[in-house]
């Protein structure tokens, strides 16, 4: 069995203890809520998108160290990035989680701190924890495409 | 621990999986409220049936088919005895307890509930005893009322007469899958009947651990699963009073459940076939019968007494070792609870806790336990849950406690 050190890397625990970009953004920020129906974890993502750039992001919700640290690192990684680049990052992250095919021709996207979540792949039941924030982000991006918050 | 009423070491040898080691360590299986492990007697009965006696039931004239039918009906008789039902044809084999509760909601509910009719549930129900009723709210506008809980996780019965006033049905669990709380079933059935409502008992958690007597309870329906009482998954049971079952429309349509089918309609078979459309889980019924005989051989009174001892030891050990760092939900008096414990430990999320415990092969459930309304009452999104059965003993409480200590090391609380 892979050791817990592969899973609970120090940087993950740091983001869990001190999550970055916690909070909410007022409308017209786009907003999405993601649930993990199996375990009850919940992630909320608020996005300000202006001229095709994610100018601000806030994250709410509750969950385990993996889901919360993934959300925290994600928020840092996407803030200030063009939407196209954010989508590429989502794809890159999901390929690392081995739930999407890696795209050989895709432009190089740097994961930075997110590489620390690589070890999650060795614990397949936890992949859904790591990916929850990213699915919620994708949903927030599509509500943003549709002209803002569709959840209220 | 030698003072147990059960010879747990001898019982454990009858469960092949419990001799399995992972990473050189024994399995500490504390997830029996989720699903129980299977004794050799059940595994062998199912293998033997498939090797020697397997055939269709109720529909062929040859001797092998008659033998299979007898075995299947023998399992029904075992279930009747196990829950002390008046009549053997009042027992319906379903897929699981969930399907049994859905059968009641869909068949009894549709025949008896109109817009504005009231069904009373409790805050500690499993989703299987909530969602089918929500579906009737959506379909025909029935009203749901909820029995709240006391601070220590028992049913707060102070307003029960008002809640039941005018109600058509009261559907409640006999033992909470989250809190371990055992509810006063006989009293609840009587209160339902006093109000003119029927009493539907979700026995999924209770029946595997206690003596069950539907006649002493005065219940109208009882639902439970095989897989939580050492039997196979894929089969569950609905018991219902004959008069109620007879008056209900059928559930699924198909083979076996009909008396006659014509181009212009059909008539239903007699009980229990009326509610058993299609080829049932035959081998699983044999396994369920074997599981019941296995449990009866040990004795449900003895199993309950053993689990009260383990529950008492677990409550004392965990609170002595961890004090305010652990919050165990549910009653502290083992007279009112089974050996199922949901708990919060320091600020460690239940998933993380479960992951760390798994390093020591301690298997616990982490999550909302299919009881999200109750989790909201508890103010938790998720809990960790350790649940004990006849094959667990006090030494596994100690392993759990040691493993909890190691979680602290990792998260540094």
For residue A104, being part of any structural domain is answered with: yes
Please give, rounded to a whole number of angstroms, the shortest distance from the CA of B97 to a CA of chain A. 19
For residue A118, being part of any structural domain is answered with: yes
Residue A152: the pLDDT is 40
- pLDDT bin (cut points 50, 70, 90) of residue A108 is confident
- Find the mean pLDDT for residues A119-132: 92
For residue A75, being part of any structural domain is answered with: yes
CATH code of the domain occupying B8-30+299-411 = 3.90.1150.10
ipTM, interface predicted TM-score of the complex = 0.80
Where does CATH 3.40.640.10 sit in chain B?
43-297
Q: Which of B21, B346, B355 to mutate to test the interface with A (most CBs of A within 10 A)?
A: B355
- Whether B355 sits inside 8 A of A126 (CB atoms) is yes
Range of weakest confidence among A7-16, A64-73, A102-111, A126-135: A102-111
- Whether A64 sits inside 8 A of B368 (CB atoms) is no
Beta bridge partners of B121: B146
Where does CATH 3.90.1150.10 sit in chain B?
8-30+299-411
For residue A152, being part of any structural domain is answered with: no
Range of weakest confidence among B193-197, B289-293, B303-307, B372-376: B372-376
Residues of chain A contacting residue B355, judged by C-beta atoms under 8 Å apart: 4, 7, 123, 126
- pLDDT bin (cut points 50, 70, 90) of residue B406 is confident
- Is the pLDDT at A38 greater than 80, yes or no? no
- pLDDT bin (cut points 50, 70, 90) of residue B169 is very high
Crossing angle of helices A127-145 and A83-96, rounded to 10°: 160
Please give, rounded to a whole number of angstroms, the shortest distance from the CA of A43 to a CA of chain B. 12
Look-up of token digits 């006391």: B150
- Does any CB of chain B come closer than 8 Å to the CB of residue A42? yes
Residue A150: the pLDDT is 45
Per cent of chain B over pLDDT 70 is 99
- Is the pLDDT at B24 greater than 70, yes or no? yes
- Does any CB of chain A come closer than 8 Å to the CB of residue B375? yes
- Whether A40 sits inside 8 A of B372 (CB atoms) is yes
For residue A72, being part of any structural domain is answered with: yes
Q: Is the dihedral of CA B396, B399, B401, B404 positive or negative?
A: negative
The boundaries of the domain holding residue A10 are: 4-145
Residue A148: the pLDDT is 54
- Find the mean pLDDT for residues B10-17: 98
Residues of chain A contacting residue B366, judged by C-beta atoms under 8 Å apart: 39
Q: What is the CATH number of the domain that holds A126?
A: 3.90.1010.10
For B366, name the nearest residue in chain A, comparing CA atoms only. Answer: A39
Q: CA-CA distance, A81 to A55, in Å (whole number)?
A: 7
Residue B138: the pLDDT is 98
Over residues B182-226, the pLDDT tens digits come to 999 999 999 999 999 999 999 999 999 999 999 999 999 999 999
CATH code of the domain occupying B43-297 = 3.40.640.10
Pairing state of beta strands A42-50 and B236-240?
unpaired
> In this structure, are residues B120 and B191 in contact, taking their beta carbons and an 8 Å threshold?
no
Q: CA-CA distance, B407 to A82, in Å (whole number)?
A: 40
Please give, rounded to a whole number of angstroms, the shortest distance from the CA of A151 to a CA of chain B. 21
Crossing angle of helices A65-78 and A10-17, rounded to 10°: 90
Residue A142 gets the label, from left (phi > 0), alpha (psi -120 to 50) or beta, of: alpha
Is the previous residue joined to B272 through a cis bond, with omega within 30 degrees of 0? yes
- Whether B355 sits inside 8 A of A4 (CB atoms) is yes
- Does any CB of chain B come closer than 8 Å to the CB of residue A34? no
- Dihedral angle of Cα B113, B118, B122, B123, to the nearest 10 degrees: 110
Number of domains in chain A: 1
Facing residue for B355 by CB, picked from A7, A13, A42: A7
- Among all residues of B, which ones are annotated catalytic? 370
Q: Comparing C-alpha atoms, which of B318, B357, B313, B320 is closest to residue B339?
A: B313
- Find the mean pLDDT for residues A41-56: 95
């Amino acid at each position: 069995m892979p050791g817990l050190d592969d899973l609970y890397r120090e940087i993950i625990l740091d983001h869990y203890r001190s999550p970055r970009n916690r909070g909410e953004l007022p409308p017209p920020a786009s907003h999405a809520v993601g649930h993990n129906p199996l375990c009850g974890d919940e992630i909320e993502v608020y996005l300000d998108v202006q001229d095709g750039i994610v100018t601000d992001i806030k994250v709410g919700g509750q969950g385990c160290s993996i889901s919360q640290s993934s959300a925290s690192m994600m928020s840092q990684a996407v803030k200030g990035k063009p939407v196209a680049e954010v989508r590429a990052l989502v794809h890159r992250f999901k390929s690392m989680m081995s739930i999407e095919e890696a795209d050989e021709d895709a432009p190089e996207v740097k994961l930075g701190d997110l590489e620390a979540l690589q070890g999650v792949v060795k614990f397949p039941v936890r992949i859904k924890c790591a990916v929850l924030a990213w699915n919620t982000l994708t949903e927030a991006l599509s509500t943003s495409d549709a002209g803002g918050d569709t959840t209220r | 621990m030698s003072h147990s009423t059960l010879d747990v070491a001898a019982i454990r040898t009858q469960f092949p999986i419990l001799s399995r080691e992972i990473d050189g360590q024994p399995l500490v299986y504390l997830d029996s409220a989720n699903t129980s492990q299977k004794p050799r007697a059940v595994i062998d009965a199912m293998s033997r049936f498939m090797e020697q006696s397997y055939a269709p039931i109720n529909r062929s004239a040859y001797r092998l088919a008659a033998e299979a039918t007898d075995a299947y009906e023998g399992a029904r008789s075992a279930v009747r005895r196990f829950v002390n039902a008046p009549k053997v044809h009042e027992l319906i084999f379903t897929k699981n307890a969930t399907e049994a509760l859905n059968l009641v909601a869909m068949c009894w509910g549709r025949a008896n509930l109109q817009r504005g009719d009231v069904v009373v549930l409790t805050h500690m129900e499993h989703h299987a005893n909530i969602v089918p009723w929500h579906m009737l709210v959506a379909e025909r506008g029935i009203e749901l009322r909820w029995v709240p809980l006391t601070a220590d996780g028992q049913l707060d019965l102070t307003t029960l007469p008002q809640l039941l006033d005018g109600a058509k049905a009261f559907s409640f669990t006999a033992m909470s899958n989250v809190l371990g709380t055992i509810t006063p079933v006989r009293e609840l059935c009587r209160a339902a009947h006093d109000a003119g409502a029927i009493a539907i008992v979700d026995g999924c958690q209770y029946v595997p651990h206690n003596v069950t007597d539907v006649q002493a309870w005065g219940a109208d329906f009882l639902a439970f699963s095989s897989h939580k009482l050492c039997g196979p998954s894929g089969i569950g049971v609905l018991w219902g009073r004959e008069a109620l079952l007879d008056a209900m429309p059928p559930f699924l349509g198909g083979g076996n459940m009909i008396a006659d089918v014509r181009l212009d309609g059909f008539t239903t078979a007699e009980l229990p076939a009326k509610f058993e459309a299609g080829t049932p889980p035959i081998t699983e019924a044999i396994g369920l019968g074997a599981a019941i005989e296995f449990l009866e051989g040990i004795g449900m009174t003895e199993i309950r007494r053993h689990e009260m001892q383990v529950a008492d030891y677990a409550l004392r050990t965990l609170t002595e070792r961890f004090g305010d760092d652990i919050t165990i939900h549910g009653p502290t008096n083992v007279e009112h609870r089974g050996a199922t414990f949901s708990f919060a430990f320091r600020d460690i999320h239940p998933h993380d806790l479960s992951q760390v415990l798994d390093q020591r092969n301690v298997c616990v459930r982490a999550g909302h336990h299919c009881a999200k309304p109750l989790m909201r009452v508890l103010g938790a999104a998720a809990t960790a849950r350790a649940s004990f059965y006849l094959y667990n003993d006090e030494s596994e409480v100690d392993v759990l406690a040691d493993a909890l200590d190691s979680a602290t090391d990792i998260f540094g609380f």
